[in-house]
Amino acid sequence: MKSRNSRTPTQLEAARQVALGALAYLAGDPERIGPFLAESGLSPADLRGAVGSAAFHVALLDHLINHQELLIAYAGEAEIDPGHVVAAREILFHADMGED
């Protein structure tokens, strides 16, 4: 029996794509990626190893959510509703916690 927090593979993959899109958006401008790196304690060299981690994806989306101007700008560029970023964060958080 599936838990109440079950996510389909499609939902999880879509959430990952939102996070990867957010990373590409931030990485496209040193003024956008710099504050994230400073906040997370990661160096540019650390990104390659972290990119597959659900915890990294959650931290990345948390950064966008906590900086509304970035959230709105990313959502506009990606042509998605900002609420999709929040939903993706929740899906990835629960998947990382083993609640899938």
pTM of the model: 0.84
E-strand stretches of 1-100: none
The 10s digit of each residue's pLDDT in 27-77 is: 999 999 999 999 999 998 888 889 888 899 999 999 999 999 999 999 999
For residues 58 and 12, the answer to whether their CB atoms sit within 8 Å is no
- Residue 39, in any domain of the structure: yes
For residue 84, give its domain range: 9-96
Please report how many Cα atoms fall inside a 13 Å half-sphere around the Cα of residue 68, on the Cβ side: 0
Instruction: Give the residue among 100, 99, 85, 94 at the shortest CA–CA distance from 17.
Output: 85
- Residue 1, in any domain of the structure: no
- Residue 84, in any domain of the structure: yes
Taken in order 43, 23, 72, 40, the sign of the CA dihedral is negative
The number of domains in the chain is 1
